[in-house]
Amino acid sequence: MMMEKNEYARELDYLYSKSLVLESISDFHPVLWFHWMDAIAHIDYTLSIAGFSYDSPRSIMAGEYMRWRVDEEKKEERPLFKPFINWLRETRPETFKKLPMIWQGIYSDSDPAQYRSFRIVLDPAQTKPIPALTFRSMIDDLFAKDLLKSIYNGSSLAKLFESFKKNLTM
Residue 124 lies in a domain: yes
Instruction: Tell me the per-residue pLDDT of 30-85, one tens digit each, with 9 for 90 and over.
Output: 999 999 999 999 999 999 999 988 888 888 988 898 899 889 999 999 999 999 99
Alpha-helix runs per DSSP H in the chain: 7-16, 30-51, 57-72, 81-91, 93-98, 101-107, 132-142, 145-150, 156-169
Q: 26: pLDDT confidence band, cut at 50, 70 and 90? A: very high
Per-residue CA distances from 102 to 20, 30, 106, 113 (Å)? 19, 18, 6, 8
Radius of gyration of the chain (CA): 16
Instruction: Tell me the per-residue pLDDT of 97-108, one tens digit each, with 9 for 90 and over.
Output: 999 999 999 999
Q: What mean pLDDT value characterizes the chain?
A: 93
Whether the per-residue pLDDT at 148 is higher than 50: the answer is: yes
Tell me the pTM: 0.92
Residue 34 lies in a domain: yes
Count structural domains, the chain.
1
Residue 93 lies in a domain: yes
Residue 2 lies in a domain: no
Higher-confidence position of 148 and 55: 148
In whole angstroms, give the CA distance from residue 117 to residue 134.
Answer: 19
Q: Phi then psi for 114, rounded to 5 degrees? A: -165, 170
What does the chain come to in residues? 170
> Helix, strand or coil for residue 145?
helix
Residue 9 lies in a domain: no
Q: Give the per-residue pLDDT at 2.
A: 45
Residue 87 lies in a domain: yes
Instruction: Tell me the per-residue pLDDT of 135-145, one tens digit each, with 9 for 90 and over.
Output: 999 999 999 99
Residue 110 lies in a domain: yes
Domain that holds residue 42: 26-169
Q: Are 112 and 48 in contact (CB under 8 A)?
A: no
In whole angstroms, give the CA distance from residue 96 to residue 4.
Answer: 39
Residue 78 lies in a domain: yes
